[in-house]
Chain A
Amino acid sequence: MHADPRGVLTGVHFLDGDHACCEGALTAGARFASGYPITPSTEVVERFAARVPTLGGIFIQMEDELAASIALQGAVWGGAKAFTVTSGPGFSLMMEHIGYAAMTETPCVFVNVQRGGPSTGLPTLPAQADMMQARWGSHGDYGIIALCPNSPQECFDLTIQAFNFAEQFRVPVMLMMDEVVGHMTEKVVIPPAEQIEIFPRRHTSKPPADYLPYETNGDMVPEMAHAGEGYKFHITGLTHDERGYPVMTVPAQDKLVRRLQQKIERAADEIALYEEEKVDDAEVVVVSYGITSRVAQRAIELARAQGRRVGKFRLITAWPFPEHRIRQLAQRTKAFVVPELNLGQMVREVERLAGGLSRVLPVSHAGGGVHRPEDILQAILEAAS
């Protein structure tokens, strides 16, 4: 299916990442957002609040992030495509409802424009220190998807991708931006609506009498019905069976929780998007994402200028992590260098997958700014030596 042209501002624009994210959401068909103001993410919903009444949609500013992160799920069950936008402290408050969305398989998008933490931290300055929280922040086991754009253009593109994955897999999808990407202004090209693919809601075609809310077929993703259509279904955050009824047994828990994780894991190769450059004969591969990938690019060029064979591996999808590809690269790469604006989060995945076959050098940064290219360069040279 193609995007509804009414929401699509086709053309060439000059936008910051936050505004581009809003346009991505509108293009994807989001007509409901619930938010609570927090720097550096608020611009997304400010634009949405201005734009969406002209498109037949609603923005509501809720009383806190607990409310914002569940109101959007009510809207989804009412039929809408919906999202919320936040940053560190608000993201922490939303964790219970990321779990609720995972458990009830509510397709929705959470945007986190990352700033320095912990706690109130650095409200106006960047970090990438919520990456593990995005994956594991709610209690219990479940699968989610997280994407990390590195430019305003990607804020647009990946917001659409986030909605598409949310619908395809019926999961909460996290768009993990950072303050720099959110606030940098660049060219953003919005294509014509008919060139933009939209994954439609997996609405059931069954009549109410035959419908079970959590019955699944081969791809492990159930079909949805909306409230008010006569299905009279039950949805709960308790462990449930195919009817959606609570069942407090070990087998029911095992069946449900494994499916929630496996529906994502089994499709990981399809979901795990990445960008590579000269990795095939590289002695060192730099793994990075978000704004850090742009600083890393500079470091890679400096190293190449010194005759080093350096490959670039940029995560576009952070979760599920591109396990197969990193394992393959570990077979032939001497070392991975992993710069990130945290004290070592995604690097743990690289270490785990390298399995001792190649060295892994983190380049940590506590946040508040970006790396100096020289610091990444130094790690590359050390790794290559």
Chain B
Amino acid sequence: MSEVRNPVEPFLRMDRMPHIWCPGCGIGTTVNCFTRALIESKVDLDHVTIVSGIGCTGRVAGYVKLDSFHTTHGRAIPFATGLKLANPKLNVIVYSGDGDLSAIGGNHLIHAARRNIDLKIVCVNNLIYAMTGGQTAPTTPNDAVTSTAPYGSYEPAFNLPHLVEAAGAVYVARWTTYHVRQLARSMQEAFAKKGFSFIEVLSPCPTLYQRRNKLGDGLETMKYYKEKSKVRNGAPTSEVGLTMQGEIIVGKFVDRDRPDYRELMRHRLAETLGDRYVECEELVCS
């Protein structure tokens, strides 16, 4: 009799299980969607590489069975930039947290979007710095209590889809961990899209965000996502900012085309250098 196995298992490093994530955490759900997107998009897994920064979400790179890089805090995008430029055949996914990507790594986020580097960013937004114990992030909504905002946060928060659209991203979507099918489909679309793609996934951190704010557990958060999410594909990103326990606009907001960094580089250098330009496919040294 053959064993019943979870279809995502072949995509995971089973020798690293159990993972470190808490019960009710949403990160594992996003990984499930990611593996489903890989299965359905039928991409050659030898050419998919995943790069993470540091954080609970940053641990994703360590659990998926792909060439995987766990880099430094905030620097997944510039690492991925070098990797992608050296080997354009790779489909490079950056998988990291809201704090990693938009605080310490915020500068890299906007510049990679501006350059339109062909990277697919999955940003797991739990509205907090989880790994370090629940401190305020640039995404923490007003009024939320964090370990470093014990009286409630009063800093304005980033609206990430708006930020990356303004910086130049060609594909921008937002889902929650309640929207597993839509999320997997967006990931698939991003894999196939050329250019800087950004998917924000709202995800519960029951241990640090929900609990400290008396918002119940992971399940309670799913109910909130279900009740308060509104699908508005194509919504102007200026209108999708988040508030504490408020409405969540989800959907695909941006899907546009402009030449990516490599194309711009090739075009400029070929035009200026003519025959002297030697195009590189892969920078493999011997």
On A, residues with C-beta under 8 Å from B are 1, 29, 31-32, 34, 53-58, 60, 62-64, 66-68, 70-82, 96-97, 100, 200-201, 226-238, 245-246
Q: Which residue of A lies closest to B104 (CB)?
A: A66
Would you give the shortest CB distance from B266 to chain A, in whole angstroms?
A: 10
**Complex partner residue of A60 from B61, B65, B81, B285, CB under 8 angstroms:** B81
- 8 smallest CB-CB distances across A and B, nearest first, come from A74-B82, A78-B86, A74-B83, A71-B82, A80-B283, A79-B284, A67-B78, A236-B70
Roughly how many angstroms separate A230 CA and B65 CA in the complex, as a whole number? 11
Roughly how many angstroms separate A110 CA and B11 CA in the complex, as a whole number? 36
Roughly how many angstroms separate A31 CA and B86 CA in the complex, as a whole number? 9
Q: Would you mind naming 23 contact pairs between A and B with Cβ atoms under 8 Å apart?
A: A31-B283, A31-B285, A32-B86, A54-B277, A54-B278, A56-B278, A56-B280, A67-B78, A67-B81, A74-B51, A74-B82, A74-B83, A74-B85, A75-B82, A75-B85, A76-B86, A77-B69, A232-B65, A232-B67, A232-B68, A237-B70, A246-B62, A246-B70
Roughly how many angstroms separate A200 CA and B285 CA in the complex, as a whole number? 8
B residues 233-283 touching A (CB-CB < 8 Å): 265, 269, 273, 276-280, 282-283
B residues 116-162 touching A (CB-CB < 8 Å): none
On B, residues with C-beta under 8 Å from A are 13, 15-16, 45-47, 49, 51, 61-62, 65-72, 74-75, 78-87, 89-90, 107-108, 111, 265, 269, 273, 276-280, 282-286
The number of residue pairs between A and B whose CB atoms lie closer than 8 Å in the complex comes to 170
B75 near A79 with CB under 8 A, answer no
**Complex partner residue of B82 from A34, A96, A229, A233, CB under 8 angstroms:** A34
Roughly how many angstroms separate A29 CA and B86 CA in the complex, as a whole number? 14
Chain B residues near A66 (CB-CB < 8 A): 74-75, 78, 108
**Complex partner residue of A227 from B83, B107, B265, B285, CB under 8 angstroms:** B83
For A64, A77, A201, A230, the residue with the greatest tally of chain B CB atoms inside 10 Å of its CB is A77
B67 near A74 with CB under 8 A, answer no
**Complex partner residue of B286 from A200, A237, A245, CB under 8 angstroms:** A200
Roughly how many angstroms separate A165 CA and B269 CA in the complex, as a whole number? 33
Q: Which residue of A lies closest to B281 (CB)?
A: A56
Chain B residues near A80 (CB-CB < 8 A): 86, 283-285
B85 near A58 with CB under 8 A, answer yes
B71 near A67 with CB under 8 A, answer no
Roughly how many angstroms separate A34 CA and B115 CA in the complex, as a whole number? 14
Given that A71-B79, A227-B87, A228-B49 are contacting pairs, would A79 and B283 also be in contact in the complex, using a CB cutoff of 8 Å? yes
For A66, A77, A79, A227, the residue with the greatest tally of chain B CB atoms inside 10 Å of its CB is A227
Chain B residues near A74 (CB-CB < 8 A): 51, 69, 78-86
For A70, A73, A200, A237, the residue with the greatest tally of chain B CB atoms inside 10 Å of its CB is A70
For A29, A78, A230, A236, the residue with the greatest tally of chain B CB atoms inside 10 Å of its CB is A78
Chain B residues near A53 (CB-CB < 8 A): 269, 273, 276-278
Roughly how many angstroms separate A34 CA and B45 CA in the complex, as a whole number? 28
Chain A residues near B74 (CB-CB < 8 A): 66
Q: Which residue of A lies closest to B66 (CB)?
A: A232
**Complex partner residue of B46 from A58, A73, A228, CB under 8 angstroms:** A228
A100 near B283 with CB under 8 A, answer no
Q: Which residue of A lies closest to B85 (CB)?
A: A58
B71 near A79 with CB under 8 A, answer no
B87 near A78 with CB under 8 A, answer yes
B89 near A228 with CB under 8 A, answer yes
Instruction: List 6 additional A-B contacts (Cβ < 8 Å) besides A31-B285, A57-B280, A62-B111.
Output: A53-B278, A60-B85, A77-B83, A97-B72, A232-B65, A234-B61
Chain B residues near A71 (CB-CB < 8 A): 78-79, 81-82, 85
Would you give the shortest CB distance from A47 to chain B, in whole angstroms?
A: 15
B87 near A79 with CB under 8 A, answer yes
Roughly how many angstroms separate A133 CA and B42 CA in the complex, as a whole number? 48
Would you give the shortest CB distance from B171 to chain A, in whole angstroms?
A: 21
**Complex partner residue of A58 from B51, B107, B265, CB under 8 angstroms:** B265
Roughly how many angstroms separate A201 CA and B49 CA in the complex, as a whole number? 21
Given that A78-B86, A79-B283, A228-B49 are contacting pairs, would A54 and B71 also be in contact in the complex, using a CB cutoff of 8 Å? no
Q: Which residue of B lies closest to A227 (CB)?
A: B67
Roughly how many angstroms separate A82 CA and B2 CA in the complex, as a whole number? 49
B85 near A32 with CB under 8 A, answer yes
Q: Which residue of B lies closest to A34 (CB)?
A: B82
**Complex partner residue of B280 from A31, A60, A67, A233, CB under 8 angstroms:** A31
Chain B residues near A64 (CB-CB < 8 A): 107
Chain A residues near B81 (CB-CB < 8 A): 60, 62, 67, 71, 74
Chain B residues near A32 (CB-CB < 8 A): 82, 85-86, 283
Q: Which residue of B lies closest to A234 (CB)?
A: B68
Roughly how many angstroms separate A133 CA and B269 CA in the complex, as a whole number? 38
B70 near A238 with CB under 8 A, answer yes
B85 near A70 with CB under 8 A, answer no
Chain A residues near B265 (CB-CB < 8 A): 58
Roughly how many angstroms separate A60 CA and B112 CA in the complex, as a whole number? 12
A234 near B13 with CB under 8 A, answer yes
Would you give the shortest CB distance from B73 to chain A, in whole angstroms?
A: 8
Would you give the shortest CB distance from B217 to chain A, in whole angstroms?
A: 27
Chain A residues near B79 (CB-CB < 8 A): 70-71, 73-74
Given that A31-B285, A32-B283 are contacting pairs, would A75 and B277 also be in contact in the complex, using a CB cutoff of 8 Å? no
Roughly how many angstroms separate A231 CA and B66 CA in the complex, as a whole number? 8
B72 near A96 with CB under 8 A, answer yes
Roughly how many angstroms separate A201 CA and B65 CA in the complex, as a whole number? 25
B285 near A63 with CB under 8 A, answer no
Roughly how many angstroms separate A79 CA and B284 CA in the complex, as a whole number? 4
Roughly how many angstroms separate A1 CA and B87 CA in the complex, as a whole number? 23
Given that A31-B285, A228-B90, A229-B46 are contacting pairs, would A70 and B280 also be in contact in the complex, using a CB cutoff of 8 Å? no
Roughly how many angstroms separate A62 CA and B70 CA in the complex, as a whole number? 20
Chain B residues near A235 (CB-CB < 8 A): 68-70
Roughly how many angstroms separate A178 CA and B145 CA in the complex, as a whole number? 50
Roughly how many angstroms separate A62 CA and B114 CA in the complex, as a whole number? 12
Would you give the shortest CB distance from A3 to chain B, in whole angstroms?
A: 11
Roughly how many angstroms separate A376 CA and B13 CA in the complex, as a whole number? 62
Roughly how many angstroms separate A100 CA and B76 CA in the complex, as a whole number? 12
